[in-house]
Amino acid sequence: MFEEIQEKYREAFNSGDVDALLDNYAQHGLTVVEPGVALSRSDDLREAMVTYFAEAKPRTDYEFVHTYVAGDVALVVTEWSLEEQGPDGGRETQRGRATDVLVREQDGKWRFAVDNRFGSR
């Protein structure tokens, strides 16, 4: 059910294609950039992503481990790994468990309404 969004998101993220990445978000979708701080598509999310990809050169991999679907809304628990360029120029890897909310839009595609890689923190 969610294979398309998983692959599109992974490809866009790992290639640094911000516009393709944002296409995976609902019109008013948001991402949590640190616990307690979220940016929506209508905020400065695009600019923040451009800066992040230029500086961190990140790569991700993830798997949806639990999905709970209620009509056109889904709660998804994701296990992820993220490799980034650290301040010293070396690569650093983080791992975690995210809680995300996806919505099925009028075109039938699932998109992120809330992308929260920090889970319940």
Q: What are the pLDDT digits (tens) for 13-28?
A: 999 999 999 999 999 9
User: In the prediction, which pLDDT does 53 show?
Assistant: 96
Indicate if the pLDDT at residue 121 is higher than 80.
Answer: no
User: What is the C-alpha separation between 12 and 112, in angstroms, rounded?
Assistant: 14
Which residues are 111's β-sheet partners? 103
Indicate if the pLDDT at residue 42 is higher than 90.
Answer: no
For 3-116, give the CATH class: alpha beta
| Number of other residues whose CB lies within 10 A of the CB of residue 71 | 7
- Percent of the chain past pLDDT 70, that is, above it, reads 98
User: What is the C-alpha separation between 103 and 79, in angstroms, rounded?
Assistant: 19
Q: What are the pLDDT digits (tens) for 93-116?
A: 999 999 999 999 999 999 999 999
Which residues are 83's β-sheet partners? 59, 93
User: What is the C-alpha separation between 116 and 69, in angstroms, rounded?
Assistant: 17
- Percent of the chain past pLDDT 90, that is, above it, reads 83
How far, in Å, are 79, 95, 105 from residue 82 at the CA level?
Answer: 10, 6, 28
